Structure 1
């Protein structure tokens, strides 16, 4: 096992239409409004940007992003990452209709969205690489918390409610 190689995957289920979810995820500059761990996100070029991230660990990550794929027809948003993290990250957004409960009922016919998150990354900075072996489980737990809070923040943002973000 290479302690400097991280592969993450998770599913977010959201009670919002897929086009709205795709649009929110495509608008990286708005992430700080709904994702508490995204401290700053700004565009640096036509298809590039920079994001500052800090979750539970007292360390800020500065990640350069470059769009690799933006395909509304297939629901795929993918970026290459460089800087404190090197690799790629991808959201795949798809409509999902929950199964109706036995005998019909409240959930019948309600459309939602399934978002598959995938990431393959390595620390880009020497300090993070040195800490990888002793802190590998901590880094993974930190990422899990960040993703859980991102899903909750996006759900609230899409519902028009209060968010956990910064403004």
Structure 2
């Protein structure tokens, strides 16, 4: 198995409570996050998710909420990946004033399931490609989140700082 750590940092022109409300609603991810293909809620704290970024494979994940605080959303991940993922939210002023939010994403996972059947040396050779694919997935999250927070008439690139 290969261990991966992924991090992202975004600055969004929206208050942390609004960002937390959207990120905390995993069942709604497929409506605004293009790489999330399907979500099946299994209760208030668990869901099965199918995700696919740019590379031609789907990941089937089981997410279980571990922390649901106003400034921290954390899930345990099982399925094709095993580990944890979390969004930490910090209030900050938006560019031009008004409420804003710094989002720090952190994910630590091991390959399991179908991708985990690939021998480790091959996975290591593909490491830059897998990291690029994950970054594309998270860029889809950032853009979709901005569009969702901007309102129903806004596109995925709406809002200040969306580029």
Q: CA deviation at 1:5?
A: 0.7
Could you tell me how far apart the structure 1 residues matched to 2:67 and 2:26 are? 14
Q: Could you tell me which of 110, 120, 143 is aligned with 2:134?
A: 143
Q: CA deviation at 1:47?
A: 1.6
Correspondence for 2:48: 50
Correspondence for 2:69: 71
Q: Could you tell me which of 83, 87, 103 is aligned with 1:115?
A: 103
Q: Are the aligned partners of 2:60 and 2:80 in contact in 1 as well (CA < 8 Å)?
A: yes
Q: Tell me, which stretches of 5 or more residues in structure 2 are unaligned?
A: 158-163
| Of 32-41 and 122-131, the range deviating more from structure 2 | 122-131
Q: What are the superposed Cα offsets for residues 41-63 of structure 1, whole Å, 9 maximum, x if unpaired?
A: 12113321111000011100000
Give the length in aligned residue pairs: 152
TM-score normalized by structure 2?
0.87
Q: CA deviation at 1:129?
A: 4.7
| Of 109-118 and 128-137, the range deviating more from structure 2 | 128-137
Q: What are the superposed Cα offsets for residues 32-87 of structure 1, whole Å, 9 maximum, x if unpaired?
A: 11111000112113321111000011100000011111112xx1000000010000
Q: CA deviation at 1:28?
A: 0.5
Correspondence for 1:91: 87
Correspondence for 2:155: 162
| Of 40-49 and 63-72, the range deviating more from structure 2 | 40-49
Q: Are the aligned partners of 2:94 and 2:101 in contact in 1 as well (CA < 8 Å)?
A: no
Could you tell me how far apart the structure 1 residues matched to 2:115 and 2:146 are? 34
Could you tell me how far apart the structure 1 residues matched to 2:56 and 2:114 are? 17
Q: CA RMSD in A?
A: 1.7
TM-score normalized by structure 1?
0.85
